[in-house]
Amino acid sequence: MNSSTLAESPKPKVPTVGTKIASQIKNNGALWAFFLLLVINILITPNFLQIQTLYVNLTQVATVAIVAIGMTLVIASGGIDLSVGALMALAGTVAPMIFLSDFGVANPELGLFVAIVVAISAAGIAGLFNGFLISKYKIQPIIATLILFISGRGIAQVLTNGELQTFDNPSFEFIGTGRVFGVPVQAWITLVLALSIAWVLKRSIYGRFLLAVGGNEKAAELAGVPATKVKLMTYMVCGLLAGIAGIITTAINSASDANQTGQLMELDAISAAIVGGVLLTGGRLPSLVRF
Amino acid sequence: MNHSYPTEAQQGASLSSTLSNDGDLVLHMKGIHKHFAGVPALSDAELKIKAGEVHAIIGQNGAGKSTLIKVLNGAHKHDEGDIYFMGEEVSYASPHKAQMAGISTIFQEVNLIGYRSITENICLGHEPKRFGMVDWRKAHAHARETLARFGLELDVEQPLSTFNIAIQQLVAIARAVALDARIVIMDEPTSSLDEREKEVLFRVIKELKASGVAILYVSHHLDELFQICDEITVMRDGKTVGQRAIGDMTKLDMVAAMLGKDPEEIARGGATNFASTGRASDQVLLSVENLEGAGALKNVSFDLYKSEILGLAGLLGSGRSEVARAIFGLDSDLKKGEVFLEGEKMDFTDPMAAIEKGFGFCSEDRKEDGIIPQLSVRENLTLVLLPKISKYGLIDESKERQLVTDFIQRLGIKTASMEQPISQLSGGNQQKVLLARWLVTNPNILILDEPTRGIDVGAKGEIQSLIRRLADDGLTVLMISSEFEELVEGADRVIVLQDGHSIQALANDQLTENAIMKAIAQETRHPVA
């Protein structure tokens, strides 16, 4: 109350050019840091200003970006997901197992389709499991997702007896190495996912409920917001996105290594989400998504 | 005010009688003044406590009891006045410092560490040491000894949280004793205790008293005071209006003193029959029968008539909020009781079901479970409505904006724009947004828990007249308020709750502040559990 009365009483100052720039930098710090990095690299890194540099960057950043989208949702709901790296490994392991199986070899196209769908679904179900522990049993997210952080990768390793699966499947590898209109495929996937999820968050009742639950869960429940459902959905989507990222990683490497896929991805994704502007205590999405 | 209590003569007498043996005073607070943001909370408050007495402070809500206690235990710094503790002038910077000096406060909610053992809680900060390590054997023995003084035998190595609230409270008292407290302040100590637990507490209080510890006792339950107190200090509007031995007072005297009225006037004006009601219609919309459970409820029944404003009055801990929460499906641990909406039995297990049936509920704590601080006025306002203005999960934004614009205007919500974060609004405007959150869903029954708490006078008036207008337009309102004035002026009828029982319904001529007070003060009619 005190802060509100304080905020109301002073007349708004006339913005000067200086304060305008200051507030611009304050509100869009990440963007400005990005421009600064660009400028520095253009000045000092040899051959930086080439389209090839952009594509290499897009290729490398795509998986982090996709996982970070899911992480952004989870953090906005007031939680965190440590299991995303392990879920990447899980999806990255399941897909080759299917298209390398007898069924997959006999029906290459259907096999590939089933491989991708099943792999991503497995990660989604794992995310649902996270959400279930968190929303139904009220286990703290950091603990609940620690379970799959450890065991998810273990499951992937058990599935392959800890062995590296190598393959030569151009159709699958296209996901990781192909180009469409000259732009890497995973960059397109990232773009489509980012735009569609941003649109859903902005326009849908789910997006609003997500922020309400993250902002003040008690108040949200009292207002009839189905907090349990919202959380289940959020962790499931985060799992699905991790699954997609796992498949891309595997496709880039032409090999699936349950031990390596998605290592430390949870930290990259959390960092990316926070740099992007999500509030760690929940209830706020990056301003780019909101308007 | 014309019947101020006690009379000057009485006051002089009581003052002089205590002055004569000033040497026994363990505490003397005099001329205490305290302002909060220019609003006086205490003006010339006085308190005198002798060693080994149980001293009660009584007064209405806002009389300054809590502030006085907080000045004493160092939670607040007074603006003016002196505090003498054991003959020395003192002023504590924090409750911890006061505790170390011998003034311990037992809060309503026990502020101990639930995960740690009883021993650790009792000995925290002054553990017996041996070779630089905690001597656990000695510590446990010390804890057992301290509790044994109260006739308690507990496994002191168990975590505190495994014991019930009464035991936890006694452990808090034991900690105070272990710290050699000279004064133990108890703020509504019995609010969460049952009869048996209360007896144990009273026994402990007598033990303490016998060992020369003074108890400062604050309670709304006047009946209790007769059981254990020696002296009564009455406060009104931040002032100490008198001090007397409890033997010289009746319950009616106490109520009269708290209100600043003449006892006879109250006795005359009181309501005993409640045949006539001021209800707006004869149609029972909601019928609440024998609610029991949910922590504080023992037996609550009442009818809510269509388009009336029904007030729920009662002291803290009487079960006011619990009734509202139970009806709205927020407390699922109801042991007994039924709620009927137009004759149909309701079985709300969560708010969604209640909202579906046309209920709305503004909780008493805006910050805690009202506003979503990060969201804008618009997003806060439409939170409940969203499913109704969405199709395939997508929000009809133009409709949303139009409704929000409409309600901002209708309720006179002062906001820079509908996109302003709600946390930047004043308390009164936040409350209007929360009201609008329900009104926009066009509810049948709106439950308002302390709708004007913590908002300034202007906004308060606006909200009150808004509630009245809504009821005139056919909305049925169940309003909880700890301000009797608000209930008397705002409500058509008032149900008085006492210790989880609905004890009386007041309406029309009978509906006065005095009548509510009197109902609360009357001897308990219900059988004691």
Cβ <8 Å between A211 and B383? no
Question: What per-residue string of b and e applies to A23-34 under the rule 16 or more CB within 10 Å gives b?
Answer: eeeeeeebeeee
User: Does residue B194 sit in helix, strand or coil?
Assistant: coil
Structure tokens at B272: 């005993």
- CA-nearest residue to B373 within chain A is A215
- CA-nearest residue to B380 within chain A is A212
What's B477's DSSP letter?
E
CA atoms within 13 A on the CB side of A280: 7
- If you write DSSP's letter for every residue of B254-302 in order, what string do you get? HHHHHHT--HHHHHHH----------S-S-EEEEEEEEEETTTEEEEEE
Spatial separation of the C-alpha atoms in residues B506 and B385, rounded to whole Å: 35
Nearby residues of B110 by Cβ (< 8 Å), 6 or more positions away: B165, B168, B169, B171, B172
Q: How many angstroms away from the CA of B351 is the closest CA of chain A?
A: 5
The model's confidence at residue A289, banded by pLDDT at 50, 70 and 90, is low
Asked whether residue A14 is assigned to any structural domain, the reply reads no
Measured between CB atoms, which of A205, A226, A283 is closest to B352? A226
Q: How many domains does chain A have?
A: 1
pLDDT in tens, B330-388: 876 777 788 888 888 887 788 888 998 899 999 888 888 899 998 999 999 999 999 99
CB-based contact, A222 to chain B, within 8 Å? yes
Spatial separation of the C-alpha atoms in residues B297 and A281, rounded to whole Å: 35
Beta bridge partners of A180: A183
Which residues of chain A make contact with B350, given a CB cutoff of 8 A? 221
| B67 touches B137 (CB < 8 A) | no
Closest CA to A273 of A249, A248, A238: A238
Cα B245 to Cα B7, B48, B58, B232, B266: the distances in Å are: 15, 12, 13, 6, 22
Cα A162 to Cα A158, A260, A265: the distances in Å are: 6, 11, 20
Q: Residue A284: is its pLDDT beyond 90?
A: no
Q: B284 burial class (0-12, 13-18, 19+ CB within 10 angstroms)?
A: middle
Structure tokens at B492: 């058509």
Measured between CB atoms, which of A8, A203, A283 is closest to B372? A283
Spatial separation of the C-alpha atoms in residues B219 and A252, rounded to whole Å: 72
Spatial separation of the C-alpha atoms in residues A254 and A233, rounded to whole Å: 31
Asked whether residue A71 is assigned to any structural domain, the reply reads yes
Measured between CB atoms, which of A218, A223, A283 is closest to B384? A223
CB-based contact, B62 to chain A, within 8 Å? no
Which residues of chain B make contact with A1, given a CB cutoff of 8 A? 426-427, 454
Asked whether residue A230 is assigned to any structural domain, the reply reads yes
Asked whether residue A169 is assigned to any structural domain, the reply reads yes
| A63 touches A248 (CB < 8 A) | yes
Asked whether residue A251 is assigned to any structural domain, the reply reads yes
N residues, chain B = 529
The model's confidence at residue B423, banded by pLDDT at 50, 70 and 90, is confident
Cβ <8 Å between B427 and A1? yes
pTM: 0.69
Range of the domain at A133: 66-278
- Average pLDDT (B521-528) is 57
Beta B390-391 vs B394-395: how paired, if at all? antiparallel
Nearby residues of B274 by Cβ (< 8 Å), 6 or more positions away: B504, B505, B506, B507, B510
Neighbours of B88 (CB within 10 A): 8
Nearby residues of B323 by Cβ (< 8 Å), 6 or more positions away: B288, B291, B297, B300, B312, B480, B497
Q: How many angstroms away from the CA of A214 is the closest CA of chain B?
A: 9
- Average pLDDT (B76-86) is 89
Nearby residues of B178 by Cβ (< 8 Å), 6 or more positions away: B122, B123, B126, B142, B143, B146
pLDDT for residue A193: 96
Asked whether residue A236 is assigned to any structural domain, the reply reads yes
The model's confidence at residue B123, banded by pLDDT at 50, 70 and 90, is confident
Cα B464 to Cα A266, B54, B299, B451, B491: the distances in Å are: 52, 41, 29, 8, 10
User: Interface pTM (ipTM) of the complex?
Assistant: 0.82
CB-based contact, A4 to chain B, within 8 Å? yes
Spatial separation of the C-alpha atoms in residues B214 and B25, rounded to whole Å: 10
Measured between CB atoms, which of B355, B386, B423 is closest to A208? B386
pLDDT in tens, B438-473: 999 999 999 999 888 767 666 777 888 888 888 888
Closest CA to A93 of A199, A246, A211: A246
Asked whether residue A112 is assigned to any structural domain, the reply reads yes
Cβ <8 Å between B393 and A205? yes
- Average pLDDT (B300-304) is 89
Neighbours of B56 (CB within 10 A): 24
Cβ <8 Å between A283 and B379? no
Q: Residue B9: is its pLDDT beyond 60?
A: no
Asked whether residue A84 is assigned to any structural domain, the reply reads yes
